[in-house]
Amino acid sequence: MDETNKKKIVISQKFENVLNGGAQNGQGNEHFDISWRLRIQPESLENPKFSLELDCFVDPAYLKWSIDTLLELAEKFGAPTVTQQCEHYMCLETDIHLLKQLELSLKFKLDILKEHCLSDIETVYDLHKILPENVADLPSPLMVLLFEKVMTFF
């Protein structure tokens, strides 16, 4: 990667009385249209060890990135909150095609989204409406999932 294309963020947060209390959340810092936050979590009151986590909070509806990109970044950087928010968004309010949602649910192991999408397919006609002209274009895991769904109709 060219040095001029790299982006860096710096997040600093002051935590007080870390060893005397529970988890503490820092204030959010905006970088790349995302609110990033540091969180510190003591292992226990008796043990002076603690973990420091970097987390980000995103509302997919207002972000310029695609859901695919968000899910890939969340997976790459271990950001389960982002993954959950994307899944929640797709379950409630989205114009993403049902097949694309099912494909993402399989790729990123989004079981709630998968069940939500499958519940929308109640008849063979519902399935026929969402299928592409050439069913062979479907990824194999998605084809298997839809075949299993068809088997529930009989």
Q: Tell me: the pLDDT tens digits for 95-147? A: 889 999 999 999 999 999 999 999 999 999 999 999 999 999 999 999 999 99
Q: How far apart are CA 112 and CA 1, in angstroms?
A: 37
- DSSP structural state of residue 64: S
pLDDT tens, position by position, 18-39: 555 555 555 566 655 666 666 6
Please, is 40 exposed, middle or buried when counting C-beta atoms within 10 Å of its C-beta (0-12, 13-18, 19+)?
Answer: middle
Which residue, among 57, 55, 31, 28, has the nearest Cα to 41 in the 3D structure?
55
In tens, the pLDDT along 63-93 reads 567 888 889 988 888 888 889 989 998 998 7
